[in-house]
Amino acid sequence: MLWTRLRGVALAMGLGVALVLSACNGPTLPLPPPATPMLIVDAASGTVTLRGGPGNVAPRALVIVYNEDLERGVVVMATEQGEWEATVEAVVGHSLTVWQELGVDRGASLFLEVR
């Protein structure tokens, strides 16, 4: 009788562990594109500074800003609050693509035109 109870408890514990482990392997939500950042154009230096406030991207995500016209970009890391700032070569009329990466996950892109 004791053996039957112990076997039942062990089976229940094994099923519980299996459920917890399978829940960890479930699909995750995809990363969204960054929220639209503030753009500061410096015509004299030919650069644009982009600033994302708190919650703009995932905490500690890599933020990539790519100038499609010049085929150049920069990579910065967001803070624990999801804030970031990046300066990229760009002038009025250039197209910028911005996205975030966290681990192996890449978020959807945000497309901006410098104005």
For residue 1, is it within any domain? no
Judge whether 55 lies within some domain. Answer: yes
Q: Has residue 107 got a pLDDT over 90?
A: yes
Residues 88-107, mean pLDDT to the nearest whole number: 97
Q: What domain range is 102 assigned to? A: 38-113
Residue 54 resides in a domain: yes
- Domain-located, residue 29: no
Residue 57 is given by DSSP the state S
In-domain check, residue 32: no
In this structure, what CATH number is given to the domain that contains residue 103? 2.60.40.10
pLDDT top residue among 99 and 17: 99
Distance between CA 71 and CA 89 in Å, rounded? 10
Residue at 80 is within a domain? yes
The tally of domains found in the chain comes to 1
* 4 occurs within a structural domain: no
| Whether the Cβ atoms of residue 69 and residue 95 lie closer than 8 Å to each other | yes
Using pLDDT thresholds of 50, 70 and 90, give the confidence band for residue 5.
low
8-32 per-position pLDDT tens digit: 665 666 655 555 555 555 567 889 9
Model-level pTM? 0.76
